[in-house]
Structure 1
Amino acid sequence: MNKSIFYIAFLLFSYVGFSQTYEFHTVKDIETTPVISQDQTGTCWSFATTSFLESEIIRITGKKVDLSEMYNVRNTYLDKAENYVSRQGKTQFGEGGLAHDVINSARKYGVVPENNFIGKTDADLVYNHEKMVAELEAIVKKAVAQTPKKYPNWKADYASVLDTYLGKYDDNKIISPNISIDGKTANEGKSLTPKQFLASTKLNLDDYVTITSFTNEPFYSKLILNIPDNFANGSMYNMPLDEFIQNIDNALDKGYTLALDTDNSEVTFGRESGVAVVPENVNDTKAILKEIKPEKNVTQEYRQSEFENYDTQDDHLMHIVGKVADQKGNQYYKVKNSWGTKAGKEGFFYMSVPYIRLKAISVLLNKEGLTKKTKIAIGV
């Protein structure tokens, strides 16, 4: 009788020990603005990086400012067109982009609050850029085919399409600057240009760097990663994979968030469960989205091979805002997404360390979030 009870208890313990559903507790949580949706657009790069800048404003000033994602999108589309036509069509043109595109846009055009440019002609409509992008692409392809000399009005036609779908914007002034998301108004009564408004946020765009980890270029050098959405040829600091992860952790520990470029096309990126993991055993692919299972040891070499064979691609940008741990002590990065609050865990996803080691293309962060060792090695 006692042996039977012991055997049953052992089986129960084994089941609990090896088939545990996820139970998360907070390790680090950095304040950010509410989750919103990019709707039916490929503008995750702007939503993620704009959210990153909003968290930076909170960190620097304590103010919660809702910045316009579509203002960055509109201006970046202008630069994409110039790039495409100048390169005679020998480059990418589409909805995608990277985190540095928002920094470049802010540097060139400034930023504005959401209430000054919502980026659609009807506030009740969802974002949908399918028709807009098709019309924009047709114009730049026509400009290349006919040459700008024979199609001198292509820029005006292009801007007209942006105005039609995103709404017109007065580049001269914004009427109600610095509206915080809690309804309080700062700088009331003043009119600011987008660049003046940028200055009022206290953001220093020179503070931001992008880091990555690949072996096809020397470590601690600047790398222009050859991926389709890097139309701007933005450079990144390259470093060993372990150090790449150490810098992500260091930034979070110091209270800095990060804009993340990653691959979300994996079957173990749980759009419903909100968990993103890399199973050690392929047979656990389905179960691991609900239960804790062993994960793969991701080496530098494995990361590189998965990137080179296209199994890792830059599909999506999100915003790392903290860390959680499961009941076994495994840590995960808390990542804010732009698919609305119904996706994942109320709009957030928990990415395991192996998933980030394998699938994180790059991260944009404040250089003060880097480790001392990395700062010295890359000279920032």
Structure 2
Amino acid sequence: MTVISDQEIADFSADFNTNSKNQVASRAARRSGLLEASFNDRVSERLNHVFSTELDVDGVTDQKHSGRCWEFATLNVLRHYFGKQNKVKDFTFSQAYNFFWDKIERANAFYNAMIRLADKPLNDREVQSWLAFAGEDGGLWSMAINLVKKYGVVPSYAMPESFNSNNTTGLIDSLARKERKDAIALRKLVSEGSSQDELEKAKKHFLNEVYRMVSVALGEPPKKFDLEYRDDDKKYHLERDLTPREFVQKYFKDFKFDDYVVLSNCPNHEFNKLYHMPLYDNVDGGDQIKFLNVPIEYLAQAAVAQLKSGDAVIFGNDVLKQMERKTGYLDTELYQTDKLFGVDTKMSKADRLATGEGFATHDMTLVGVDEDHGHIRKWKVENSWGDKYGHKGFYEMSQPWFEDYVYDVVVRKEFLTDEQVKLAEGPAIDLKPWDNIG
């Protein structure tokens, strides 16, 4: 192992000052910041607001300061469906309602895992993965659907947003701290030879406390509500005393939840394999969280086909890479920092995933695509960051950005190949909690 010598520092400085462009770049970067100094405004030439296929959707939603994009994206798909079926574009569902039940169900899954893994040391990698995941508010489409299947949905007015649903840091920090302390208690009970009944009694006590915490933070969810709205033709509708489950059973009876498959593109794992992520199984007794890993072109083909059928497409992505909120541009050439620095940081998608540089950080919804004789030019994206960003809350995404930074799409089986359908319905490979599959 060698240290950096004074001579090497002098060489570095001399090399930097050899090219006068470095000083120009430094002055621009110091004055306006690296991203602004490297911003490529020419991307606007291809990211306009015109699309060859475009769904008729109303305004966007706003998740505020929370990690609930997965619930917003899922409920956006459901509200578009409800709106189309009932001719009411501006109807919205309560994200707070499903968020409430996610906290309860995820605590239950956590406690079950702590009991199951109690014979492993506290520093075991799997145990540490569960402890790190405690209280989290991020998630995935399949997790949201598990909640909808078990608890239904309610209109946004039946359980409106509150400070703590819009700003989840305080709640998830409190839940994480409590669940980790409870984990120690459960592990101790197991080590003392407690019976299954004693463990279940302790878990029920902890869950009761979690329920109290979430109820204080969000309010208790409604058990019944009146469905009331005026449709696009100004016709008034009222249906009294619906339960959240009855609402789904009646108004989504033709929405085949089990027909949807998550196609992933994670080239650090073998293609044409179905993977299962046990860490994300948020509802015990619910559906497992699975992904069918395929080349990127299949994600694009299936997404286009579903959009042309008239339905939106949820997709997981790394939204913080090569994105500007103000314009809503998502383009691989947006910030040219490599040219500013005079370096090459380009990595393959597989290498980014393998090193932790790549990761799905957000869920959004595809609501349009622009094609030219089968060639995809760009996509229209519905975000959940309010209408002050992008084009009234909608973003424009280039096809190269899709290929680099999209990790999964949620599509119906009819848009898969026969072989992919067979794989999606077959056995899955269990992943370790630390495996990065986007």
> For residues 209-288 of structure 1, what are the structure 2 equivalents within 5 Å?
209-224=261-276, 234-266=289-321, 268-279=322-333, 282=336
Map Cα deviations across residues 274-313 of structure 1 (whole Å, 9 max, x no partner): 1111139945879xxxxxxxxxxx9xx9222222222221
Partner of 1:292: none
For residue 229 of structure 2, the aligned residue among 161, 179, 184 is 179
| SS of equivalent to 2:397 | strand
Partner of 2:79: 54
Asked if 1 retains the 8 angstrom alpha-carbon contact of 2:86 and 2:231, the reply is no
Asked if 2 retains the 8 angstrom alpha-carbon contact of 1:337 and 1:348, the reply is yes
Deviates more, 1:239-248 or 1:105-114: 239-248
> For residues 364-379 of structure 1, what are the structure 2 equivalents within 5 Å?
364-368=410-414, 370-372=415-417, 378=423
Map Cα deviations across residues 203-231 of structure 1 (whole Å, 9 max, x no partner): 332232211123455433322358x8676
What do you get for the CA RMSD once the two structures are aligned? 3.2
Map Cα deviations across residues 303-346 of structure 1 (whole Å, 9 max, x no partner): 222222222211111111112479xx972111111111111221
For residue 113 of structure 1, the aligned residue among 155, 169, 173 is 155
Partner of 1:146: 185
Q: Does 1:45 align with 2:91?
A: no
Asked if 2 retains the 8 angstrom alpha-carbon contact of 1:319 and 1:336, the reply is yes
Partner of 1:133: 172
CA distance in 2 between partners of 1:178 and 1:206 (Å): 28
Partner of 2:52: 27
Map Cα deviations across residues 129-179 of structure 1 (whole Å, 9 max, x no partner): 1211122222212221222665752212111111112111233x22x1253
For residue 159 of structure 1, the aligned residue among 207, 211, 217 is 211
> Following TM superposition, by how much is the alpha carbon of 1:33 offset from its aligned partner in structure 2, in angstroms?
3.9
Q: Cα gap change, 1:215/1:167 in structure 2, threshold over 3 Å: closer, same or farther?
A: same
CA distance in 2 between partners of 1:145 and 1:126 (Å): 28
CA distance in 2 between partners of 1:248 and 1:256 (Å): 9
Q: Does 1:321 align with 2:367?
A: yes
Deviates more, 1:200-209 or 1:97-106: 200-209
| SS of equivalent to 2:149 | helix
Q: Cα gap change, 1:178/1:319 in structure 2, threshold over 3 Å: closer, same or farther?
A: farther
Partner of 1:101: 143
| SS of equivalent to 1:154 | helix
Q: Cα gap change, 1:20/1:136 in structure 2, threshold over 3 Å: closer, same or farther?
A: closer
CA distance in 1 between partners of 2:86 and 2:353 (Å): 39
Partner of 1:352: 398
CA distance in 2 between partners of 1:375 and 1:60 (Å): 30
> Following TM superposition, by how much is the alpha carbon of 1:359 offset from its aligned partner in structure 2, in angstroms?
0.9
Asked if 2 retains the 8 angstrom alpha-carbon contact of 1:27 and 1:323, the reply is yes
Partner of 1:291: none
Map Cα deviations across residues 34-93 of structure 1 (whole Å, 9 max, x no partner): 212111111111111110111222344544432111111111111110111111165112
For residue 382 of structure 2, the aligned residue among 336, 347, 361 is 336
What amino acid sits opposite 2:381 in the alignment?
V
What amino acid sits opposite 2:61 in the alignment?
I
Name the structure with the higher helix share: 2
CA distance in 2 between partners of 1:341 and 1:35 (Å): 6
Q: Cα gap change, 1:159/1:272 in structure 2, threshold over 3 Å: closer, same or farther?
A: same
Q: Cα gap change, 1:31/1:152 in structure 2, threshold over 3 Å: closer, same or farther?
A: same
Asked if 2 retains the 8 angstrom alpha-carbon contact of 1:276 and 1:355, the reply is yes
Count of paired positions = 340
CA distance in 2 between partners of 1:166 and 1:53 (Å): 22
Q: Cα gap change, 1:225/1:32 in structure 2, threshold over 3 Å: closer, same or farther?
A: farther
CA distance in 2 between partners of 1:34 and 1:19 (Å): 28
Q: Does 1:68 align with 2:94?
A: yes
TM-score (norm 1): 0.79
Deviates more, 1:230-239 or 1:96-105: 230-239
Deviates more, 1:19-28 or 1:89-98: 19-28
CA distance in 1 between partners of 2:385 and 2:231 (Å): 19
Structure 2 gap segments, 5+ residues each: 1-40, 115-126, 187-198, 341-345, 426-438
CA distance in 1 between partners of 2:334 and 2:42 (Å): 15
Asked if 1 retains the 8 angstrom alpha-carbon contact of 2:413 and 2:421, the reply is no
TM-score (norm 2): 0.69
What amino acid sits opposite 1:354 in the alignment?
P
For residue 87 of structure 1, the aligned residue among 109, 113, 128 is 113
Q: Cα gap change, 1:158/1:106 in structure 2, threshold over 3 Å: closer, same or farther?
A: same
Partner of 1:196: 246
Q: Cα gap change, 1:166/1:217 in structure 2, threshold over 3 Å: closer, same or farther?
A: same
What amino acid sits opposite 1:73 in the alignment?
F
CA distance in 1 between partners of 2:420 and 2:241 (Å): 39
> Following TM superposition, by how much is the alpha carbon of 1:180 offset from its aligned partner in structure 2, in angstroms?
5.8
Identical-pair percentage: 22
CA distance in 1 between partners of 2:138 and 2:318 (Å): 13
Q: Cα gap change, 1:259/1:230 in structure 2, threshold over 3 Å: closer, same or farther?
A: farther
CA distance in 1 between partners of 2:289 and 2:417 (Å): 24
CA distance in 2 between partners of 1:366 and 1:57 (Å): 17
CA distance in 1 between partners of 2:170 and 2:42 (Å): 47
